[in-house]
Chain A
Amino acid sequence: MNSQLPDQTDIKILDLLQDDFPLTSFPYRELAEKAGISEQEFINRSSSLQKAGILRSISPVLESETLGMNAGTLIAFHLPEERIHEIATLVNSFPEVTHNFIRDNYYSLWFTLIGKDMESLNELLVKILEVTGIPEDDVLNLISVKKYKADVRFPL
């Protein structure tokens, strides 16, 4: 499909793949039936969608608390505009950073950190501030207190 936009069938496939994946020997066959296409077409199209960069992967969503990742925070930086991309790249290099976005606000760089406890997160933040040279006054450290919902499913 190269640079072509996904068609109706592709959208249907992406939609089905956003549900919990069937735990069976021939899972694509089951999904293909729902999409009204053959198993082989489902597999070929999924593979093309991945090559086109639309489908990143079919992978597990892990439960953070069960794995001992009990602390999370959202950090916002106020930055001079000319440094935004340089700082964003530095921030990305930390594996504990899971999401990083430039947003339209006085605080322009917003990223999430995850770790086993608050202590390790604080140590990490100190390290990030050292590496980037951002003064503490220009930082918001918005520690997460409670998760009400986390269900990424894009409306297609």
Chain B
Amino acid sequence: MDSVDITLIKELEKGLPFHAQPFSLIGERVGISEDEVLDRIRHLKKTGVIRKIKARISQRKVGVTANALVAWNVHDADREKTGHLLSAFPGVTHCYERVSIPGKWEYSLYTVHHGYEKEIVTEEIRSMAKQIGIEQYIILFSTEECKRVPHVRIGFSGENL
């Protein structure tokens, strides 16, 4: 990744313009041709810097208001297998393994779920637990979103992307 790539990523982080040739416009801002913009993005994808270019949607405004974080208590030996099983459910957008805090917080696997209604999301989670055979889990519904920005940003200051 060179300095042009960094300038290009920072420009992309501002959001693609709604213009017939968005990459041409981005190129003008960066000082390179449209072809070079496209070639560089392809290369950044190939080398694993950019995973995807896609829309970020304000989920609450389209009615996706039920957001649950679920913490699962799973035995050490089953963790890897369970992590993959949980990830396979289409309703799961994230699945992470995290350290547990013995005596205080025993959960080690975490999933994130999104849906239109709490009841439906809860029902999905219950059914997942039953299918996989996990008895101890806790559903943490969000009541308010305070901040949501892309996981990784090159231009750290771009807070409102």
Measured CB to CB, the nearest residue on chain A to B111 is A149
| Cα of A63 to Cα of B16 in the assembled complex, Å | 19
Q: Is B86 an interface residue (CB 8 A)?
A: yes
Interfacial chain B residues near A147, Cβ < 8 Å: 95-97
22 contacts between A and B (CB under 8 A): A21-B54, A25-B24, A27-B23, A39-B20, A54-B62, A56-B56, A57-B16, A59-B14, A59-B54, A61-B53, A67-B152, A98-B147, A98-B148, A98-B149, A100-B148, A101-B146, A102-B146, A110-B142, A141-B101, A142-B100, A149-B92, A152-B93
- A residues engaging B (CB < 8 A)? 6, 11, 14, 17-21, 23-29, 39, 43-44, 46-47, 50, 52-67, 69, 73-74, 88-89, 91-92, 95, 97-105, 109-111, 114, 140-156
Q: Is B22 an interface residue (CB 8 A)?
A: yes
Number of A-B pairs, beta carbon distance below 8 Å = 239
Chain A nearest CB: distance from B46 CB in Å?
11
Contact B140 A50 (CB under 8 A): no
Interfacial chain B residues near A101, Cβ < 8 Å: 67, 69, 142, 144-146
Tell me whether chain A's interface is mostly helix, strand or loop, or mixed. mixed
Number of interface residues of B (CB under 8 A): 75
Residue in B9, B13, B92, B148 with the greatest tally of chain A CB atoms within 10 Å: B148
| Cα of A151 to Cα of B59 in the assembled complex, Å | 14
Interfacial chain A residues near B146, Cβ < 8 Å: 88-89, 91-92, 100-102, 109, 111
Contact B147 A154 (CB under 8 A): no
Interfacial chain B residues near A69, Cβ < 8 Å: 152
Given contacts A61-B51, A69-B152, A146-B97, contact A43 B19 (CB under 8 A): yes
Interfacial chain A residues near B42, Cβ < 8 Å: 23
Residue in A17, A21, A43, A59 with the greatest tally of chain B CB atoms within 10 Å: A59
Chain A nearest CB: distance from B32 CB in Å?
14
